[in-house]
Copies of this chain bind each other. A is one copy, B any other.
């Protein structure tokens, strides 16, 4: 760990630089003026040699390898779980602090799993790798955080409506290809998903586990408990892929441990970092995925009391799964590390 001094600039690597999330990390680093000295863009052989813009000039993409990380301060990993497992430990051993987007290390007790609005203090315990949670978890915990701090959370029942951009570039490509075919009465010809996604729903994201849940659903359970450091916080999820290009939505039913009036919950959410309340039924104002895309907040609306249970609340939250759900959260972790002099 080097000293932090005013004006210090970091050597930053992005592994998976040509992918959807890697691209967003590069753009958000520039947008938020992260103090990048040197930027190393890393990807597979296939993409090596491509040049991508950053800070007014082009940067050539190098092949991601174990020896890519000499003198790197901060390494964003967005190249998939296999690449993270293979190269992140080497990067950390070389002295880089890894911010990993994959699920490879999320359940590792030595690896903090961090959403800066929720559990930034967990960063202090890092041992070279910090993990950023799954997109569907991030937006939910940002919205739950003010309620959790004020009243505790007993149980959450959540149904997701997840956009195809969560599957990488092939998701939107498939939806864009299938939609006109289906409108023309032609077979959809599924490739990226097991079945047609255009004008359809798939109650299936990631692999199935023995109990009948999917890995995507289990992530929402395990990651939420780890982020709140609360193994008694119960999460009952159903994850569904919907024919929306970008931004995930979630119908969330919460039972808090102590009572919160609707007015209190509304005030807490309105003031919560990372949350933007869009909730005025008289003006038909509520969050929608087409409005959230390209923006940073977790948008919350449809807030109402659930009269069927003690301390029950319903809300609907929408967020850009590529930004807050992935790249932005990773860059916010990098900012927080710098602020806390941890990198």
Contact residues of A with B, CB < 8 Å?
Answer: 155, 157, 159, 161, 175-176, 179-180, 183, 194-196, 199-204, 208, 211-213, 234-236, 238, 240, 242-245, 249, 251, 253, 262, 281-282, 284, 286-290, 301-306, 308-309, 312, 314, 316, 318
Chain B residues within an 8 Å CB radius of A212:
262, 281, 302-305
Interface majority SS (helix, strand, loop, mixed), chain A: mixed
Contacts A/B (CB < 8 Å), 11 sampled: A159-B238, A203-B316, A212-B302, A212-B305, A213-B304, A234-B308, A236-B306, A236-B314, A238-B302, A238-B316, A240-B249
A308 touches B235 (CB 8 A): yes
B284 touches A204 (CB 8 A): yes
Q: How far is the CA of A238 from the CA of B238 in the complex (A)?
A: 14
B238 touches A201 (CB 8 A): no
- Given A157-B157, A159-B159: A302 touches B203 (CB 8 Å cut-off): yes
- Given A234-B309, A316-B238: A211 touches B288 (CB 8 Å cut-off): no
A309 touches B211 (CB 8 A): no
A18, chain B: closest CB distance, angstroms = 24
Which single residue of chain B is at the shortest CB-CB distance from A245?
B199
B157 touches A253 (CB 8 A): yes
Q: How far is the CA of A249 from the CA of B301 in the complex (A)?
A: 22
B211 touches A290 (CB 8 A): no
A11, chain B: closest CB distance, angstroms = 39
Q: How far is the CA of A196 from the CA of B286 in the complex (A)?
A: 13
Chain B residues within an 8 Å CB radius of A211:
304-305
